[in-house]
Structure 1
């Protein structure tokens, strides 16, 4: 059953993930990991970075976008003069402007710049571009173009980027290659997309207004030795996107984070698929394993602890090992396996409860069964040591009576007597141990704790030899049957072992100990005494109320015992 629950829970979770049902939930867990990690200055890459943004201030000071290209030329010249390590220009120049002189100024500025990458989203069938008139001119002036296409997830959040789009190297990869001077190993992208390792806070990458740079209001030290990303941040220009750490992030900042990711060797990667599968299986096995040995509360607590541990492991691997492991799929497997384990446990508990009810219903009265069930977790073989009172009763003269009637009538008569005696036991909260021919054995004080067990046993014994016996004899008289019958009862108290004996398939409740042996001996001694109910001294000591009819018989030797027993009787 454990294996079935584990496989069912894990299988459903894997199927849900494969069917993309868990996609949104998984993305949410990744975003949470980014936000919890917070800012990290080291993640801006091996070369410090800076942003020059075409913001609202720039729009107010320089007018409506697109600006004259001479402004872009001025920015490139200033960044070159101020010692920028490289320039990533996220503004598209695919068409000539209305002022050829401005276009020429831009081309001359690009030609004199440090390693520079220009952006485009327009790529022809051969992977070529028309940036600044075409790839031939770009090659001539020492510039390259990179594709700034972004691959947004279905929820509009940018989490992944690729090494190329439409046959043209992606903008971040192109910048990294110009900075390092050698090609980027694209195996890190796994043949597709990889995670943008976001810095965590825009404050970690200095940002300056485009108009400030145009007017020379930014000190040269702000750009010296840095990769400078230039682009639009004004919301009206539409180059803003959501990221795991911010709902509104300018395109240049996205590109800066992606550039830093490539320069760091694309460290943040998805864990191999087998790790996610292993986590799912481990999550699925936790609750059922606990449910095998513990109850529902422990199972639920283990599931909660497992969920916390899953989140902690995923976060630690994210922070310390730069690995993104799945959380939603193992979490669903954990939830499903917990619900299934609790359901199976509840079903088994219901079956066991009915089994317990059936077994104890043979020993105790129906109104006591629920108390037994409330205190009994299971019904395993074995018992417990308790202080209890044992009662033995036997019908005298039944052999002669039964010889004179038909077998069917004899069994009916015997059943009537035994029913009356059983009713007396039930009426006083005793537990049936078993029938002994035309008698029975009962225990008081087990399996339920009864501080007044001695009083209960004495009351039951008195009812057996009194009202219960008289009712049976009256019925025999009315039927015209012999009714010269008497009843003998022996009662003894002490420590006994009470519990279930037998096999796993068939069990009987019993009580074993010196008190049980003595009660049987006392019942037999009623044949020799003028009293129908005999009690041991230990029972008298445990009585809370002593009836006036109690008679001390004396110290009487008992077969099988070295010392005589204080014998009492009901007179």
Structure 2
């Protein structure tokens, strides 16, 4: 994962902001409708349907009963539409026999019925039937004949009945029938409320329009996928406002007294405005198109159902219709359009109306904010700011956690608003925005990291082993090219007497020798995960502890130095076979705090270390010539590697340092040393202690023994004797000066 964005170049911040701004513009264009994106709309519909199915009551509303014109009814009464007198008989049965509270007729009587004339005696008999509960034979057949439309109108007049009508859009601008009285004029609407306008309509004939109220049942707000999710409560035509049939029924049930409905903007406790209208004890909240979201109770048959044939036959329905609101409409697919809904793919229109009416009566209402596009854009803007800031501040896993927290929090907030406030907020578009925003920033992070890995490989590929470069690529956040202070170990190596060796070889031989030497030494250093700082002629400088941390950097450096000496022995064997000079390698090692980073000028940079601890390592390498040993390590390195056996060489006053430094020769791991090696090192250290104690005779005895048993290290032992001789000469000089 990437490092926090604040640690990067300001240009990357600008690109991050640009990514968020462009994505926000795309989603805002969709929310406003300027550039709709079909995929987002489809996902939004799926999210809406899922929430609706999760929260719907899944219970039957016993207060609303559907009387369906179904196949048994058609078999009994004949093909649809039925004669008007049979519809009148159906109304009479519902009110007189079954005592329905109110009836909604999902039927439009748009044209007069021809060829259906009866006498006035039938009209009188119909009136008597309404009062006595049955038909009477006409007394005078010669009485005036009346139309079936008049019989139907008489059956509707004075009863709480609402019939249907259809309002048409601009493509179907013709008009049929007579519109009822409007409930208000356009200018009476609250500011911003804009119901869908109709260019034409299909309404009832004048007799029916005068006898009963009516409202539209058509739905202009069908979603592009053909699903019914919203239903308008008002529709406009010619500057007049007309209600939905379900709203008319709700008014009839609640005692609406023909006064214009009061609609106002409502804010409530939530920061999402809506338009409010009171219907009885229920509060209806609508969006800018005067629409509500249909809160379906469940799939089909969420309301009691009765066949129209049963009602016409007067069957005993066990009080099912008593005091109930009845909706009459086509139930057979041959008679009515089956609508696709979120809860059922084939729901009759009359049952869709029943769901709307149920919501109006019990106040179970869903609505969108007054300005859903603005609400969505503001929500997207808020999340864009929060997430972009989180990506910039945290980076890496912090970005993942931020995106998850925002997504989960928004999901909970969205469901809470749906369940407790009945506010429908966009979900899929916002959730998709969060996911896409994170993915884009993640991809950009990958580009940055790839570029960083490439840069790291370019910078460190010449210094560190390949496997270490791979680790750097996998964990670039742990690497910094900027200067920093670290506790590290540095190693200097140099060939003793290189000038004479160079003179003994021709240029070609010298080149081959140096290439083979440097390659072998580099390989050993890389095997111990060291970083090559530089080659300086015959010298190699390396360090441990950077660019990646290495807690055991001192041990790695010491073991590398021991293996370098072993590799030098193998090289000398090969060089001897070629007749080349034998090489003696001196190595100095020190551990301490030093500055590490990319240093140099604008013309050339190098990843290197600097500081007093580095200078001390260089001085220790120079001391190997004087002591005649292959490796010298400081007391700081020796203290950092207690598992390695060191032999003290002496105490040195190093140029540039005020304190004396104890220097050691690393011998190796104790289990790899021979008993003879251990005895010799202990004997040398006793000689060193004896010299410090002034027991010169003991020093000479111990050193003489070492020269006999270990002649290969005679230079070290003679150095000790030289120290002893030098001290004696200094003492003699002092005495002589005093005597004089």
TM above 0.5, yes or no, is: yes
Please, which of 23, 27, 30 is the counterpart of residue 45 of structure 2? 27
Give per-residue Cα distances to partners, 1:440-492, cap 9 Å, x unaligned. Answer: 432246546468615532235426865668999999x99xxxx9996532234
Please, which of 171, 178, 181 is the counterpart of residue 245 of structure 2? 171
Please show how residues 250-399 of structure 1 align to structure 2 within 5 Å.
Answer: 250-261=348-359, 264=363, 268-270=367-369, 272-284=372-384, 288-292=388-392, 299-300=399-400, 302-303=402-403, 306-366=406-466, 368-380=468-480, 381=482, 389-394=489-494
Distance 1:566 1:275 in 2: 75
> Corresponding residue for 1:245?
343
Distance 2:204 2:642 in 1: 111
Distance 1:130 1:373 in 2: 77
Aligned: 1:54 with 2:69: yes
Aligned: 1:80 with 2:95: yes
Please, which of 144, 149, 156 is the counterpart of residue 110 of structure 1? 156
Deviation at 1:222, TM superposition (A): 3.1
Deviation at 1:344, TM superposition (A): 0.6
Distance 1:557 1:196 in 2: 90
Please, which of 19, 26, 34 is the counterpart of residue 5 of structure 1? 19
Would the alpha carbon gap of residues 231 and 97 (structure 1) be closer, same or farther in structure 2, given more than 3 Å must change? farther
> Corresponding residue for 2:224?
154
> Corresponding residue for 1:406?
none
Deviation at 1:347, TM superposition (A): 0.6
- What is the TM-score with the length of structure 2 in the denominator? 0.62
Q: Mean Cα displacement is larger for which, 215-224 or 256-265? A: 256-265
Distance 2:648 2:303 in 1: 104
Please show how residues 360-509 of structure 1 align to structure 2 within 5 Å.
Answer: 360-366=460-466, 368-380=468-480, 381=482, 389-394=489-494, 422=522, 425-426=525-526, 429-434=529-534, 439-444=539-544, 447=548, 449=550, 453-454=556-557, 456-459=559-562, 461-462=564-565, 487-492=585-590, 500=597, 508-509=607-608
CA contact (8 A) 2:648 2:662 kept: no
Give per-residue Cα distances to partners, 1:408-465, cap 9 Å, x unaligned. Answer: xx99999998778656644654322456787443224654646861553223542686
Provide the secondary structure at the position in 2 that maps to 1:524: helix
Q: Mean Cα displacement is larger for which, 295-304 or 8-17? A: 295-304
Deviation at 1:129, TM superposition (A): 2.4
CA contact (8 A) 1:73 1:110 kept: yes
> Corresponding residue for 2:294?
197
Please, which of 322, 332, 339 is the counterpart of residue 223 of structure 1? 322
> Corresponding residue for 1:534?
632
Aligned: 1:120 with 2:165: yes
Would the alpha carbon gap of residues 439 and 517 (structure 1) be closer, same or farther in structure 2, given more than 3 Å must change? same
Please, which of 77, 86, 93 is the counterpart of residue 109 of structure 2? 93
Deviation at 1:9, TM superposition (A): 1.5
Would the alpha carbon gap of residues 490 and 185 (structure 1) be closer, same or farther in structure 2, given more than 3 Å must change? same
Would the alpha carbon gap of residues 504 and 166 (structure 1) be closer, same or farther in structure 2, given more than 3 Å must change? farther
Give per-residue Cα distances to partners, 1:42-98, cap 9 Å, x unaligned. Answer: x97xx9433222233433444443334343223322333354332211123233154
Q: How many residues align?
A: 551
Structure showing greater Rg: 2
Distance 2:389 2:571 in 1: 53
Which blocks of at least 5 consecutive residues in structure 2 are unaligned?
1-14, 119-147, 181-201, 265-274, 276-285, 504-509, 668-712, 714-740
Aligned: 1:524 with 2:622: yes
Would the alpha carbon gap of residues 413 and 314 (structure 1) be closer, same or farther in structure 2, given more than 3 Å must change? same
Provide the secondary structure at the position in 2 that maps to 1:526: helix
Distance 2:529 2:109 in 1: 97
Distance 2:658 2:514 in 1: 33
CA contact (8 A) 2:20 2:388 kept: yes
CA contact (8 A) 2:568 2:583 kept: no
Provide the secondary structure at the position in 2 that maps to 1:377: helix
CA contact (8 A) 1:9 1:334 kept: no
> Corresponding residue for 2:333?
235
- What is the TM-score with the length of structure 1 in the denominator? 0.78
Would the alpha carbon gap of residues 173 and 384 (structure 1) be closer, same or farther in structure 2, given more than 3 Å must change? same
Q: Mean Cα displacement is larger for which, 412-421 or 166-175? A: 412-421
Provide the secondary structure at the position in 2 that maps to 1:117: strand
Which blocks of at least 5 consecutive residues in structure 1 are unaligned?
404-409
